[in-house]
């Protein structure tokens, strides 16, 4: 029986429940399953756990030849718990004969919902209102509705498409930028493909769902922020380094834009000395856009499905889009 070891998450009752459920699901698939919480993560602990398994479910920590060289005799598959894979050295993994996959689309609903929530809260200036009430400043901020707004989606993948589906209910005009144009999905969802500059120049709200790579690092920079309308808002639930923090802080401090919602950061946890702290036109959350019970279970289940297909030489419509090397 092939064995999966999950290194995702610290030990707590919620994750215990999810891993118990995952173990039962894996057993139904004819797979053994073990949860080894990394609390804290070290390459040595990760390697020790992985080399006792045929496949591993991993989190956001760096994985390269230091780990691959120790586990490659047995471990042939690593599955990223989530979508981003910038911390996994795919070239090293390939060199050591290890396949890498991600749980593409499993958390799309949670992330899209979170992006929409932040977008709406920013447009209605809820954070400013909350800060005011808590400090005795009873000022009624006047915001904007999302109904009928023009919304830009940077990155039209699984999350971007799900967000577009949600926005249709608000009667929004939806613009999207992506290097690949899925015309079928765009037609179904009423989405117009445009260039990125058009999104920054014309949209009332922008949501970032780009992959992080050399071309997109620092994508939201001073030049692009300067294109935005003064009451427009921008949300990042993708990857922190997509945003030039210095430029974003300046735009927020100078009220050059209406506000920003940031769930991800170049440095995590966000230092308490960050210049974002104290700004009332920014919503800050600790990388939790995908953190719902439903989303977490979807990811566990998809990871096990990927492992099943890998070891049985099969492929489903759901898992075939998950492979990275």
Catalytic positions, written as ranges: 239, 268, 287
Q: Tally Cβ neighbours within 10 Å of residue 105.
A: 19
Tokens of 170: 């608000």
Q: Which long-range contacts (CB under 8 A, 24 or more apart) does 300-303 make?
A: 300/6, 300/18, 300/19, 300/21, 300/22, 300/25, 300/57, 301/22, 301/25, 301/106, 302/103, 302/104, 302/105, 302/106, 303/4, 303/6, 303/57, 303/79, 303/81, 303/103
User: Nearest Cα to 268, choosing from 249, 294, 245, 240?
Assistant: 240
Distance (Å, rounded) from C-alpha 111 to C-alpha 164? 12
139, containing H or E segment: none
């Amino acid at each position: 029986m092939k064995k999966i070891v999950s290194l995702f998450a610290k030990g707590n009752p919620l994750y215990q429940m999810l891993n118990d459920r995952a173990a039962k699901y894996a057993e139904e698939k004819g797979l053994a399953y073990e949860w080894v919480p990394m609390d804290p993560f070290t390459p040595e602990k990760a390697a020790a756990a992985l080399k006792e398994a045929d496949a591993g479910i991993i989190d956001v920590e760096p994985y390269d030849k230091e780990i691959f060289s120790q586990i490659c005799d047995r471990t042939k598959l690593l599955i990223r718990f989530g979508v981003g894979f910038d911390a996994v050295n795919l070239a090293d993994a390939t060199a050591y004969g290890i396949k890498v996959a991600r749980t593409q689309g499993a958390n799309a609903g949670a992330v899209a919902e979170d992006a929409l929530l932040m977008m709406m809260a920013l447009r209605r200036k809820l954070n400013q209102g909350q800060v005011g009430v808590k400090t005795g400043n009873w000022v009624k901020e006047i915001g904007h509705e999302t109904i009928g707004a023009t919304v830009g989606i940077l990155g039209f993948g699984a999350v971007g498409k799900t967000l577009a589906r949600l926005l249709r209910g608000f009667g929004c005009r939806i613009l999207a930028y992506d290097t690949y144009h899925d015309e079928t999905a765009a037609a179904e969802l009423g989405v117009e493909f445009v260039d990125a500059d058009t999104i920054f120049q014309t949209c009332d709200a922008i949501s970032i769902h780009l992959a992080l790579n050399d071309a997109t690092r620092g994508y939201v920079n001073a030049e692009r922020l300067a294109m935005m309308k003064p009451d427009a808002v921008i949300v990042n639930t993708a990857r922190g380094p997509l945003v030039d923090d210095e430029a974003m802080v300046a735009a927020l401090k100078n009220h050059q834009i209406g506000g920003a919602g940031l769930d991800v950061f170049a440095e995590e946890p966000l230092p308490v000395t960050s210049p974002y702290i104290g700004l009332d036109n920014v919503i800050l959350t600790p990388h939790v856009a995908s953190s719902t019970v439903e989303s977490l279970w979807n990811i566990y289940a998809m990871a096990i499905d990927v492992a099943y297909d890998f070891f049985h030489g099969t492929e489903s419509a759901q898992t075939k889009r998950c492979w990275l090397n």
